Amino acid sequence: MGDRGLVLLYPGQGSQYVGMGKAFYDAFPEVRALFRRASEILSLEMERLCFQGPEEHLVLTDNVQPAITLVNMACSLVLGLQGVRPGATAGHSLGEYTALHVAGVLDEGAVLQLARLRGQRMQEAADRHPGAMAALLNLSPDKVSEICEACDIEVANINAPGQIIVSGTHTGVARAMEMAAAGGSRRSIRLSVSGPWHSRFMRPAQEQFALDLARYPFKDPEHSVVANVDADYVKDGATARENLARQVCAPVRWQESMERLIGDGHRRFVEVGPKRVLRGLLRQIDREVEVWNVEDPKSLDECLKGIGCG
């Protein structure tokens, strides 16, 4: 039985680090078995990739996307072994794949294979159309839109009040950072990414990936899942597939997604996967909700006590 008020959140690309998932791998035979199956499914040595790297190998887009997805799945598996069942799930960009998997929309093999295909298609598009991304801080959405129009770039992520990510050409993003500083931004941060994700330059990836998605079965969700592209609940498997194709180019409406869940009465959230990026964003969106994270035995114990399972 799921806890209708509990939402599990899954991080995406950017949360990776060498060694992620190792503590749960060492502590749970079920996680070790999951890693073995993933290595066979992907024909990659996932233990070596996640635990040894090196970082310059791990961060390659077609490596990091299945790696983060696997670690998200491992952390979620451990929570499930403790009897935790969510009432809803959501994932940030790539994290939406784990959110759909936990909701029963995608099986284990499909979610891992699609995460890798997504990374491959995106990197192929980025090789054809190189670009950059940056976080513009402490500016209104209207001001960011004005800057994007002037610089011919796009909004890629609306993460939290005062944190919007933009994506486009190297020169466009550099100019946007200059305009943001002149417009009152406290600071702008160029992101360490290998392409202009969630922009029109990903159109070739979207078109190819839509064909990839069509080869996999999508079931209807077993619980509520909020999608990045429209901050709305996924109605059925067909909608989930369509959303994942659109997501490649569309902006991630994370702030709106969280506000949707909070507005519908969800007050307890757990970030499930490496680092605590989403936990930090949620605190910026609404400081009244309760939020934990789970990525190793220590954080697991704290979470279980917090939600009343420990």
Specify whether 198 is catalytic. Answer: yes
Tally of domains within the chain? 2
Which conformational region is residue 179 in: left (phi greater than 0), alpha (psi within -120 to 50 degrees), or beta? alpha
Q: Are residues 91 and 229 in the same domain?
A: yes
Q: Are residues 95 and 235 in the same domain?
A: yes
Average pLDDT across each block of 10 residues of the chain; the chain has 310 residues. List them in order: 80 96 98 98 98 95 96 98 96 98 98 98 97 97 97 98 98 98 94 94 98 98 98 98 98 98 97 97 97 98 90
Catalytic residue among 92, 198, 223, 266: 198
Q: Which domain holds residue 160?
A: 131-190
pLDDT for the residue 57: 94
pTM of the complete model: 0.97
Q: Are residues 158 and 282 in the same domain?
A: no
Nearest to 13 by CA among 228, 214, 223: 228
By the 8 A CB rule, do 233 and 187 touch?
no
Q: Are residues 211 and 260 in the same domain?
A: yes
Residue that is last in its domain, among 152, 170, 190: 190
Residue 90 within any structural domain of the chain: yes
Residue 195 within any structural domain of the chain: no
Specify whether 93 is catalytic. Answer: yes
Q: Are residues 285 and 157 in the same domain?
A: no
Catalytic residue among 15, 76, 93, 185: 93
First to last CA, the chain: 17
By the 8 A CB rule, do 154 and 251 touch?
yes
Q: Are residues 261 and 177 in the same domain?
A: no
Spatial strand order of the sheet with 188-190 comes to 154-160, 163-168, 132-137, 188-190
Residue that is last in its domain, among 190, 208, 227: 190
pLDDT for the residue 86: 96
CATH code, domain carrying 241 = 3.40.366.10
Q: Are residues 135 and 123 in the same domain?
A: no
Q: Are residues 243 and 283 in the same domain?
A: yes
